[in-house]
Every structure is written in structure tokens, then in C-alpha cells.
Amino acid sequence: MKKTISFLVLALFAAQLHAAPYSDPNKTKMIITVTNTNIGEIVREIGGDKVNVAIMVQPVACPGMSEISPDMITRVEKSNLILSNKWEKWIRRVRLEAGDIGKVYKTLQTDGNWMIPTVHIRAAEEIMSMLSGLDAENAAYYEKRYNDYAYGADYAAQRALKDIAPASGVKVICNDKIRDFLEAFGFEVVGTYGSEQDLTAKRLAYLVSEGKKKKVKLVVDNLQMGAGTGNELAANIGAKQAVISNFILGKSYVNTLKDNVSRLLKAAQ
């Protein structure tokens, strides 16, 4: 077992320093730990039976404000590859605790909201390229799985856009982290708010005034930032309230996308 792990560790370490092709003579899986479910879903789907994936932050929590736990450190200590987004600065503390020896830390560069289909597919392509670079022997395997995954995501996106079309142009106020997602699906965002702590009495009064003036029909909360943050705002405006997820739930991007669209459409009608 120690010999098997050493092959994997040395190959990954060489890939990080010299971009050398990854070779796995003992056919072991890469042990990968990721910070959130958006990354984890893609790695699982593209990596298939070549990877063993664990996720640090559960999908109902906000990865941007994560607390480091002993379990996280233990998992990272046993991992060969650790993946995070640029905005997850807390991974630096994890790295200090778990160390660098035998591990590769990579920060994914795809910008934007990964729940938006076009952004999600770009992120999947970045992950496919990364896995292929580390494990050149299985590059064709990763590319095929990426193509299948991208096709499924694109197909789901086209269906979602068709389903949500009746709500196009509906005016909304929403959590600032989901603004771009709502705009990508045709909603008109007239105001945003942050966390519950940031929604001060002054900000609430301003948004209520804007909501009434611009005839906002819908207030949309981000599940990871608080499912009930916009309740009072919606009640004061006389609008409906909906909650959508900014991260993949139930290990499926397609199902989370469908659920988000269904919730928005139901509330907007």
C-alpha cells in the first residue's frame, strides 16, 4: 500500500513542479479533496472511476465563510490533490495545517457563477484539462466524459431557458451572489442585498422603496446565505419570495438547475 501511494504522490508532485505526465503503474485512484460541491460534482463526473473525491463544505453552507474543522485537515492530509476556487481564501489556512508534502494544491481559474450553464461548462473543461495534464495516460477517458457531461449540461440549459421563458423580464430583488444567475435566465434585477447581517434597517427601507417604485414581483434568497433573509423585504413590498441554491445539491448539477428554475417559475407566476 505504501509503495502504491508513493507512486501516486511522486507523479503528482512532479506534475506540479515540471508539468510532467502522470503515470500510474499500479492503477490507483487519485485521492482528491475539493472545497465545494460545484467542484466536486464536476470532478466526480469527469474523473469517473479514476478518482476518489471528498467535499469539505456541505452544499447548504456558504464555502466563502467556512470554518476549518479537524476532519477537513485529516482528509487533506490523506489527499494527493486539493482543489479550490479563487475566492475561497481559507484554503490557505488548511494548507498551513495539512502541509505540502506529497500534495498538490490547485486553484481553479474559471470566473463567474458556476450555476450558470455556460460558466459551468467552462469550469468542466478546465477540470478536464487539469486531470488530463496530471494523468496523461487517461486523457482520452477524461475528454470523453467531459464531452458527455457538457452535452448533458447544455441540453438541460436549453430546456431550462425554454421553461423559464414565461418569466422573462420579471423584476426581482435578490441576494447579490445570485444576481448573475437570475440575469442569465432573463430576470431584471433592480436591487440586491448581502447576508442577513448586512441587510440593515436603512438598506431594507431603501430596497422596499425601490421595490414598490419599480413594481418588483419577486424577492429571491440564496440558500447558502440564508433561506429566510428576504422574507420581511418581500412582505413589505407585497412580492413573492423564492429560494434557490448557488451550489449543487444531491450530487447533480442538472437536477439542481431544474429545481432552481422550477422554484423561480412557480413564484413568478
What average pLDDT does range 96-109 have in this prediction? 92
Amino acid at 34: V
pLDDT at position 6 is: 38
Contacts of 221 (CB under 8 A, 6+ apart): 174, 175, 227, 228, 229, 230, 241, 242, 243, 244
| H or E element, residue 183 | helix 179-184
**pLDDT tens-digit readout, 226-260:** 999 999 999 999 999 999 999 999 879 999 999 99
Count the alpha carbons within 13 Å of 80 in the hemisphere toward its beta carbon.
26
Taking the alpha carbons of 64, 57, 99, 137 in that order, is the dihedral positive or negative?
negative
Angle, helices 91-98/70-77, rounded to nearest 10 degrees? 60
Of the listed ranges 4-18, 167-181, 195-209, 210-224, the least confidently predicted one is 4-18
Q: How confident is the model at residue 27 (pLDDT cuts 50, 70, 90)?
A: low
Cβ–Cβ under 8 Å, residues 174 and 227: no
pTM strictly above 0.75: yes
What average pLDDT does range 202-214 have in this prediction? 96
Q: Residue 204 is placed in which grid cell?
A: 431594507
What average pLDDT does range 189-195 have in this prediction? 95
- Highest mean pLDDT pick, 25-34, 59-68, 94-103: 94-103
pLDDT at position 188 is: 97
